[in-house]
Structures are given as C-alpha cells and as structure tokens.
Amino acid sequence: MNGRFSALACAAALGLALVSGGALAADKFIVVQSTTSTQNSGLLDELLPKYTAKSGTEVRVVAVGTGQAIKNAANCDGDVLLVHAKPAEEKFVAEGGGVKRFDLMHNDFVIIGPESDPAGVAGMTDAEAALKKIAAAKAPFASRGDESGTHQKERSLWKAAGVDVKAASGDWYRETGSGMGETINTGVGMGAYVLTDRATWSAHKNRAGYKILVEGDKDLFNQYGVILVNPAKCPNVKADLGQDFIDWLLSKEGQDAIAAFRINGEQQFFPDAQKSAS
C-alpha cells in the first residue's frame, strides 16, 4: 500500500513538473510592435525563426504603421519597438516610453508609378522636384495617410517641396488610411504615384506595369531603430527577454542575418549596429 502510494505521489509530482515546465515554456515569448514593411517584405519571417532556435523565445509581432506601433508601445502593449521614424522614436524615449534607441538597419524609399508616367518624373533622383512635378500635373498620388513612418517621410518631402497636400486631399491626392501593400494596390488601381519603402515594393506581386520612377535621393534614406519598452513605466514588460532579442539583432549574428536577406537576389536592408555602437 505504501509502495503504491509512493508511486502515485511520484507520478503526481512528475505530472505537476511537466505542467509547470509547459507553462514556463508557453510563457517564454515577447511581443514586438513593428512596422508593416518588416513583415510584408518577409524579413521577420527570415530572422525570427533563427532567434527562436537560438534562444527558445517566441517572438510575436504586431505589424502596424509606425505611429500606431509607438502608440501601442506607449500604452505598454509590447516589450520591444522596431520601427522607422527616428524623430518620433527619439521623442518616445525622451518621454520615458523606451529605455534606449539603437540604429538597427536602413534601406530607402522610392516613388513608383505607371509606365505612362503622366507627370514625367521617370529617372529623376530629386524627390522634392519630382513631387513638385506630380503636384503641378495634378497627377493622382496615393498616400498611406496613417501616421506610419512612410507617411511621416512623405509629409516631410511634400513640405520641403512647398506643396500643400491637405488642400488637394480628395482631389488628385488620395489618402488610403491603409498599410503599404494595400496602398500600393490602391495606387495601381487608380494609376497613382506612390511613395513606398523598397523592400515592400520588391516583395509586392501586384505590379500591373508599375515600376520605380524616382530613387537615389539622400532624402529617401529610411532608418530603422529598435527600442526596449521601459519597464519602469510598464511593469509588465519582459525586460530581460526583450533586451536579449535586441542584443541578438545588434550582434554580428543578427546583423549578418539582416544583411543576408534577399528578394530576387537583391539585398533589401543594410545593418547599422556598428554605427550605433560608435
């Protein structure tokens, strides 16, 4: 009887240990608030399995526009922020929402449009001059209009070009309120020019004769940053796990994985951790 009781007790203890272990394993995840370009391009699909295999930590991504991602992180919904609007990111840290911002990688923005090119901007390398021509021609332009990093960049370019797009809203200037892929689809459907990050365009399938018309301007530089959400402000943040993920992204292994990501044989993102460290 005692032997049977001991066996049952051992079995119960083993079962409890397995349940506890499973609970701990299930709890080993972080939430990353990120931008649609890292998701739509396929970059995260390439990086995250590598990190999970190394660390055992699952990375759950909320892919939205940068503005929304920052709002979500400010509301303590997430452990790590990975976006591309540096002034807004620095403000987020300065206001106590994040611990420290690191340059992670960069690529660039491009202006795409139909082969007919009604504004005649094909081959231009001056984005502001190209936008002036688009506005002068009142050629259709599709904007995300969603406070994303791409939208913030676009607005700064219109401002530098001296064009008031608010006055043209609903006319030749159309705001989709959608993500990058959806905005490209809308633009293609209406024959409009679109500002997009290069990686999303490289991965996009619905091109319908569209091509890159304007590229190569230094003002089209697209910087990505990564930030740990501040546990002093958000006690639910998994600071150790979140920082480990950031450290991996900034490590040689993570940076090499970013550099190795290709679409149609072309590198899409260029690592910046060394610059950040210096």
Fold agreement (29-107+223-277, 108-220): yes
Condensed to tens digits (0 to 9), the pLDDT of residues 18-71 reads 333 344 456 799 999 999 999 999 999 999 999 999 999 999 999 999 999 999
Contact 30, 59 (CB under 8 A): yes
CATH number corresponding to 108-220? 3.40.190.10
CA–CA separation, 13 and 243 (whole Å): 34
Condensed to tens digits (0 to 9), the pLDDT of residues 168-194 reads 999 999 999 999 999 999 999 999 999
Residue 28 burial (10 A CB sphere; 0-12, 13-18, 19+): middle
pLDDT in tens, the chain (278 residues): 444 434 444 344 444 333 333 444 567 999 999 999 999 999 999 999 999 999 999 999 999 999 999 999 999 999 999 999 999 999 999 999 999 999 999 999 999 999 999 999 999 999 999 999 999 999 999 999 999 999 999 999 999 999 999 999 999 999 999 999 999 999 999 999 999 999 999 999 989 999 999 999 999 999 999 999 999 999 999 999 999 999 999 999 999 999 999 999 999 999 999 765 54
CATH number corresponding to 29-107+223-277? 3.40.190.10
pTM for the predicted model, two decimal places: 0.85
Q: What is the pLDDT of residue 1?
A: 44
Domain ranges of the chain: 29-107+223-277, 108-220
Q: How many CA atoms lie within 13 A of 64 on its CB side?
A: 18
> Alpha carbon of 49 to those of 73, 127, 241, 251: distances in Å?
23, 37, 16, 16
What DSSP letter does each residue of 145-190 carry, written as one string?
Answer: -SS-HHHHHHHHHHHHHT--HHHHBTTTEEE--S-HHHHHHHHHHH
